[in-house]
Structures are given as structure tokens and as C-alpha cells.
Amino acid sequence: METDSNVRRLWTYAGLTLTVIFWGASFVATKIILLELTPATIIVIRFGVGFIVLLVTVGLRREIRPVHRQKLPFLALLGFLGITFHQWLQVTGLKTTAATITAWIVATIPVLVALLGWVILGERLTKQRVAGIALAAGGAVTVVSGGDLLALTSGRVGTVGDIMIAISAINWAVFTVLSKRALGVQRSDLYEDAADNGSPVTAMLYVMGFGLAFSLPWALVDGGWRALATISEQGWWALIFLGVACSGLAYLFWYKALDVMPATQAGVFLYLEPLVTAALAGPLLGEATTTITVLGGAAILLGVWWVNQG
């Protein structure tokens, strides 16, 4: 019995490790494919493939459940925030910001979640968490400004892309707080059968489906899909990776892990995400890792760790 538990734990850790690698590499893959496709086209293809992966998985496990009609508007809101708006900010922002800077900014999300949890949900905010929030914020400013803190007073902090990525981090924190109960401990309220607790992957399937539906008209009007006829082999591999690995398997592994371990414990793995991005962005994109970026990134990771320990 203990052996079975250890095996499940190892599989969970393996899935989480792959998730971090996939999500860390997603910023690099997005930068590559942005050279050939528009943001709208990238988002629709990525989450279209991801939706199919989740749909097949949920279907094979016979976990598809009808939801209450009154819950559909809320799931639609989550789909807009967590998929359509979030990805528009990130993909468009990556046009003018480095993949490594994006990863470090995104690493501040657990801190933002803790802060919003205190404001919106009334969760406890200890002195240690306040210190962690301040340290992570300082690290984020250092990374974006490149160490030029005087740029704060002159309005020269980062690019438009940096600002969009920062907004995306705040948006994802809002999405996380709003979906914390709906996709977690209270997800049984979503389904018509009150006794059915469902699966977090099933709930995420609805959210991803709404996000995809909102993104599709944008892509059709945008017209970027016409470039698919001339896309390079490298571009196709980037798209397949974003769809299958980053939006399909990664979401599957992530929500499966949340079913068997605390969110805080799973969240520790996300600390490695920017390190994966930095390791890949150098050889694939030619992005240099500066001492300032390393110091700012270290402050972010330490701040996030303090917040989770507080």
C-alpha cells in the first residue's frame, strides 16, 4: 500500500516537473512563432489543440459532466480572463519584451495571489508575507528596469511589452482568486448532480472552451490564419509544442497534482519556471542573462518563498 502511494507521488512529481519545463519553454516557443503568425492565430491554435487534448482525456475517463446553467456566465468570465485576455496580453507583450524578463515577471504571481487573497477573500497577511511581497516587488522592478532604478522617476521603466506582461500577471492572480473555489473545494456546485464532485480537469475544460470561443472571432477578423500556408517547419513544431504540451498536457498534469497535494506544495515547482526559460532563451533566442537579472530574479524567488512560508 505504501509502495503504491510512493509510486503515485513519483508520477505526480514527474508530471509537475514536466509542467514547469513546458510552461518555462512556452515563452521561448511563443517568441519563435511570433515571427510568422499573429497573436490571435497563435492563441486559437494553441488552445484549440489544448482543448482537444483535455476533451479526449476527460472523455476517455468518462468525466464529462453537465453544469448548472446559472454557472455558465461565471465560467465564461473565467475563460475570458484566464485564456483570452491573459494570452492576448502575454503573446502581444512578447513582441517587445524578452522571454526571460517575461518569465521573471510571471514568477511574481503567487505574491499577487496572496495580496489579492487578503484584499478580496480576507485571508491572513502576516509580517513575513508583507516582507516577501515587498522583496518580490523590488526584484520585479530590478529585472524590468535593468537595475536603472532612476528610470522609475523618469517614466523609462521597461517596454510596452513589459507593462503588458505585468498586467497579465495581475490578471492571472485575479483569475486564480476568482476560480479558487469554483475549480477547487466548491466545484461540486458547478454540476447539475449535487452529489458529483467532478474533476478539476473537467471544470478547466469548460473554462478553456469559453476562452477558445472568445478568441476565435478575433482570429477570423485578424486574418493571420492565412500565414499558415507558408509557415516554416520550426514554426509548426513551436505551435504543436504550445498546443499539446503547454495547453494540453501541462494543464492536465497541473490539475491532477492539485487533486493529490496542497496548492502551496505544488506551487513550489513553479519557482523553477523562469530558470527553464533563461536556460533555453540563451541558445535559442540569443538573450543574454545579466547579473542584474539574476539578482532581481533571486529576490523574486526569495520573496515568493517567504510569502508561501508565512
Per-residue pLDDT tens for 248-275? Answer: 898 888 877 766 766 656 666 777 788 8
| pLDDT score, position 251 | 83
| pLDDT score, position 261 | 67
pLDDT level of residue 139 (50, 70, 90 thresholds): confident
Higher pLDDT pick, 287 / 215:
215
| pLDDT score, position 262 | 61
Higher pLDDT pick, 209 / 181:
209
Kindly report whether the global pTM for this prediction surpasses the value 0.85: no
Give the residue numbers spanning the domain of 272. 2-309
Q: Please determine, for residue 156, whether its predicted confidence score (pLDDT) is greater than 70.
A: no
d(CA 37, CA 95): 11
Q: What is the DSSP string of 219-275?
A: HHHH-GGGGGGG--HHHHHHHHIIIIIIIIIHHHHHHHHHTTS-HHHHHGGGGGHHH
pLDDT level of residue 137 (50, 70, 90 thresholds): confident
| pLDDT score, position 143 | 74
Q: What is the mean pLDDT of residues 169-179?
A: 83
- The total number of structural domains in the chain stands at 1
> Grid coordinates in use for 310?
508565512
Q: Please determine, for residue 212, whether its predicted confidence score (pLDDT) is greater than 90.
A: yes
**What angle, 0 to 180 degrees and rounded to 10, lies between the N-to-C axes of helices 250-258 and 200-222?**
150
Checking phi first, is residue 91 left (phi over 0); if not, alpha (psi -120 to 50) or beta? alpha
> Grid coordinates in use for 248?
494540453
| pLDDT score, position 68 | 77
d(CA 179, CA 198): 15
Checking phi first, is residue 146 left (phi over 0); if not, alpha (psi -120 to 50) or beta? left
Q: What is the mean pLDDT of residues 112-140?
A: 75
